Structure 1
Amino acid sequence: MGFMWTMFQSLLIFASIFAFGLAAAVVFETIRRKYNYAHVEAPPTFEDPNSLKPVPCPHILDPAEKYISLIVPAYNEEHRLPGALDETLNYLQQRAAKDKSFSYEVVIVDDGSVDGTKRVAFDFVNRYTVENVRVILLGRNHGKGEAIRKGMLHSRGELLLMLDADGATKVSDLEKLENQIHAVAKKERKFGDSAASDSTLRISDVPIAAFGSRAHLEEKALATRKWYRNFLMKGFHVVVLLAAGSGIRDTQCGFKMFTRAAARKLFTNIRLKRWCFDVEVVYLCKWFRIPMIEISVNWTEIPGSKVNLLSIPNMLWEMALMSLGYRSGIWKIYT
């Protein structure tokens, strides 16, 4: 009996120390991310692999130069990236051929890949020129959230679409998001404040966010997905509801479109670097009162997902940081 009591006391002490250490770590990391300075610094130029000449690096604060930018985060995607980029660029070229006013760019953000992702990305720059395809190299792995943030901050589009490197969502579905954004923009201009109703404004000037959604596929997904992904999904939905509230059923679909005005507000404030940055986007949209639209998209699960059981601790960690950061006022939102 004495031995059991000693073991219980030891476990209790260990659990207390662990809980205190974890709480201290959350507080420390939240304070460390009070400012966005911990993020990767922006490179001053892109490099044109054809001429080896530097190309000026745009910023989200600059006026738009293209109609749409597609941001593709990539980490060790040398096998899945070529197919996704072929489909994407074929679609964009066909659309540009039909509509001479349609201009585009694809920004590939290599998040510290250690395989041939960089080579694949620059192959597409060579094929389509640096005017249409650009590559940002982060040097080391920072996480999907940071890769998306970097791509958003250095894109030239009036509309900015993030999409995954696996091609799980049909790129042509961007028209669904695009059409809804234009519809909401018309309403904002008609019924909104004097700034939004200014007829001289471009679509890039009206802050709107459109979220691709797989919620309509949930029943089928439950039957076909691996058990741990279903567990992650259900548990994550509960945590998201507690952290960011309701409004968007599928926060994690990697197919989202923002107007330039919305991206400027959101991605200059984003602090989460990995899987939970989508939830922070929803939270910030609500804070800025940016209209959010959720639109069903065609989605197919592609083998090779980076989400696994080890993602759970990271998700919980980031959600804890976000909840403490914003609710305590440590994380300021800059307008």
Structure 2
Amino acid sequence: MTITLNTTIVIPCYNEEKGISNSEYSNFLKHNPEAFICFVNDGSKDNTLAVLNVLKEKHPTQIHILSLEKNSGKAEAVRAGINYCNHKYQHQFIGYLDADLATTLEEFIDLRNYLQDEIVFSFGSRIRKIGSTIERENSRFFIGRIVATFISNILDIKVYDTQCGSKLFTKEISEKLFEKEFISRWLFDVEIFYRMIHLFGKEKAIQKMLEIPLKLWVEKGDSKVKLTYGFKLWFDLYEISRKYKKIGKNTSNPNHK
């Protein structure tokens, strides 16, 4: 049976038993009948699946649970969810959001208001400014700014926050961006920007993306990223940069097929 939807939200979940707010999800779905949520249970070892099943019983037509047998990391969980939903459902927009709802569902769904004309990809940005509430540990904020500045430089585009877990796409572009596996389990967001540049060229890609400052972002719970990843992060960035620069050279070569 084909279900026609406006917006599908993929939520990767790994050991989120205590982090999922049933009331927030239920209230959102109640007021947004055109929205659909696909929870991807990424091989959780706690009672995440049981918590998700309770939610699904309340909203059987607006929730699907996709369970992966083993933990594959956020990148593959998101990719699996987006590819599954693109194949099974008809929707205009599809994106992903973190299960703890550091970005609210209401603000996430507003990203679709910007997907018009040339824009095919809109994403939230944790910019600290007057009128916004961005609650994050100072240590993580400063480390995040260092990493974000480095990423902006290697991408060679002016982007403030590539790593915010709040991104929305048109269905058509998502099918291209999530077709192939990502190099990194956690830095796949960087690869998404590289893939946009590879698809359209840098100048045109910039015109097709829009960064939206969030009004509210509240850090919740413990990060699923281990502290030791801080060392591997730089290696992943190097590998990502090397791969896509190589792809860029090959596609710019007139003899490349």
Return the TM-score normalized by structure 1. 0.64
Contact 1:107 1:134 in 2 (8 A): yes
Match of 1:168 in 2: 102
Shift of 1:217: 5.1
**Selected match of 1:107 from 33, 38, 47:** 38
Q: Aligned pair in 2 of structure 1 residues 231, 312: CA closer, same or farther (>3 Å)?
A: farther
| Amino acid in structure 1 at the alignment position of 2:212 | I
Q: Aligned pair in 2 of structure 1 residues 86, 161: CA closer, same or farther (>3 Å)?
A: farther
**Selected match of 1:257 from 159, 168, 171:** 168
Q: Aligned pair in 2 of structure 1 residues 114, 331: CA closer, same or farther (>3 Å)?
A: farther
Alignment pair present for 1:299 and 2:217:
yes
The gaps in structure 1 that reach 5 residues or longer are: 1-55, 57-62, 97-102, 189-206
- For the pair shown, which has the larger CA radius of gyration, 1 or 2? 1
Contact 1:251 1:279 in 2 (8 A): yes
Shift of 1:113: 1.0
| Amino acid in structure 1 at the alignment position of 2:126 | R
Match of 1:283 in 2: 194
Match of 1:328 in 2: 246
Shift of 1:174: 2.7
Query: CA deviation digits over 1:174-219, x for unaligned, max 9?
Result: 34311111xx32xx4xxxxxxxxxxxxxxxxxx7000111123599
Q: Aligned pair in 2 of structure 1 residues 332, 309: CA closer, same or farther (>3 Å)?
A: farther
Contact 2:19 2:221 in 1 (8 A): no
| Amino acid in structure 2 at the alignment position of 1:138 | L
Shift of 1:330: 9.9
Match of 2:4 in 1: 65
Alignment pair present for 1:138 and 2:68:
yes
Give me the whole-angstrom Cα distance separating, in 1, the residues matched to 2:44 and 2:50: 10
Contact 2:38 2:81 in 1 (8 A): yes
Indicate the SS of the match to 1:251.
coil
Match of 1:152 in 2: 82
Match of 2:47 in 1: 116
Return the TM-score normalized by structure 2. 0.82
Shift of 1:220: 8.0
Provide the aligned length of Structure 1 versus Structure 2. Answer: 239
Match of 1:238 in 2: 149
Higher relative strand content: 2
